[in-house]
Amino acid sequence: MSDRRYKATRTSMWDTNFIADARVATVESAPYKVAEGGITCFEMADNSLIGHISEWPSGIYHKAHYHAAGAILLVVRSHGYIYMWPKELGVRPFQNGKGDQVVKCNWKPGSIYSPPDGWFHTHLNSGPEPARHIALRLGSRKNPTTIHDASTRNNREGPTTSLREGGTLIEYEDEDPEIRRVFLEECKKNKVESRMPPITYRNDPLIVD
Ligand SMILES: [Fe+2]
């Protein structure tokens, strides 16, 4: 049985052909993507299938990012919601007056969702326990295909790299303030304490091309 864990740039990788229980498998810390949370990608049986397991605390949400279509996410634990919007609406769609085009969708254990091509998406855990998602897609490091392309900012490191550094990820400081405002409300409604780190928003323009 293969069982090798290693780092590829920022991403924690796991070469394995057997995951005994994805509900409890260890995930490594991934502060570049989610405060206090973890993400481990797995590549199985030397083929082009890849996936990841992500776990993050109650009262925490991910940084929004985009990539091509094809990732399918299964919710294993906790409940919360996602925001998704086409990148053409910009980094701050609510502030841009396009908030009515942002899709907000609730999730709970057993939910399955799949962000469309080039849509920013973020996963928010307003539920009472650590959230866990399992994602499956094509395009392993060994056998690359789909989801990334080499010529644009949507390359392999794009979703883990800030827009300001040529990637496709919105840092907390750059995000639309409406995201946190609503999140705090949702947490309060559920009697969940927000554990988000304090934020000072940047107001120098950030253009998505
Ligand atoms: Fe994603």
User: What residues contact residue 165 under an 8 Å CB cut-off, 6+ apart?
Assistant: none
Answer whether 30's CB lies under 8 Å from 14's CB. Answer: no
Q: If you measure from the C-alpha of residue 86 to the centroid of ligand 1, how many angstroms do you get, rounded to a whole number?
A: 13
Model pLDDT, residue 148:
58
Just give the CATH number of 3-189.
2.60.120.10
Q: If you measure from the C-alpha of residue 123 to the centroid of ligand 1, how many angstroms do you get, rounded to a whole number?
A: 9
Model pLDDT, residue 156:
67
Count each helix (H run) and each strand (E run) in the chain, helices first.
Answer: 1, 11
Q: If you measure from the C-alpha of residue 194 to the centroid of ligand 1, how many angstroms do you get, rounded to a whole number?
A: 22
Positive or negative: CA dihedral 102, 149, 161, 157: positive
Nearest partner of 166 among 158, 177, 174, 156, judged by Cα: 158
Q: If you measure from the C-alpha of residue 114 to the centroid of ligand 1, how many angstroms do you get, rounded to a whole number?
A: 9
Q: What is the mean pLDDT of each run of 10 residues along the chain (209 residues)?
A: 85 91 95 95 85 97 94 97 97 96 98 96 98 91 64 70 92 97 98 97 84
User: What residues contact residue 71 under an 8 Å CB cut-off, 6+ apart?
Assistant: 114, 115, 135, 136, 137, 147
pTM of the model: 0.92
Q: If you measure from the C-alpha of residue 192 to the centroid of ligand 1, how many angstroms do you get, rounded to a whole number?
A: 25
Model pLDDT, residue 47:
79
Q: If you measure from the C-alpha of residue 159 to the centroid of ligand 1, how many angstroms do you get, rounded to a whole number?
A: 7
Separation of alpha carbons 169 and 204, rounded Å: 16
Q: If you measure from the C-alpha of residue 82 to the centroid of ligand 1, how many angstroms do you get, rounded to a whole number?
A: 11
Q: If you measure from the C-alpha of residue 178 to the centroid of ligand 1, how many angstroms do you get, rounded to a whole number?
A: 20
Q: If you measure from the C-alpha of residue 191 to the centroid of ligand 1, how many angstroms do you get, rounded to a whole number?
A: 28
Q: If you measure from the C-alpha of residue 69 to the centroid of ligand 1, how many angstroms do you get, rounded to a whole number?
A: 9
Answer whether 27's CB lies under 8 Å from 13's CB. Answer: no
Q: If you measure from the C-alpha of residue 40 to the centroid of ligand 1, how many angstroms do you get, rounded to a whole number?
A: 13
Q: If you measure from the C-alpha of residue 168 to the centroid of ligand 1, how many angstroms do you get, rounded to a whole number?
A: 10
Q: If you measure from the C-alpha of residue 71 to the centroid of ligand 1, how many angstroms do you get, rounded to a whole number?
A: 7
Q: If you measure from the C-alpha of residue 116 to the centroid of ligand 1, how many angstroms do you get, rounded to a whole number?
A: 10
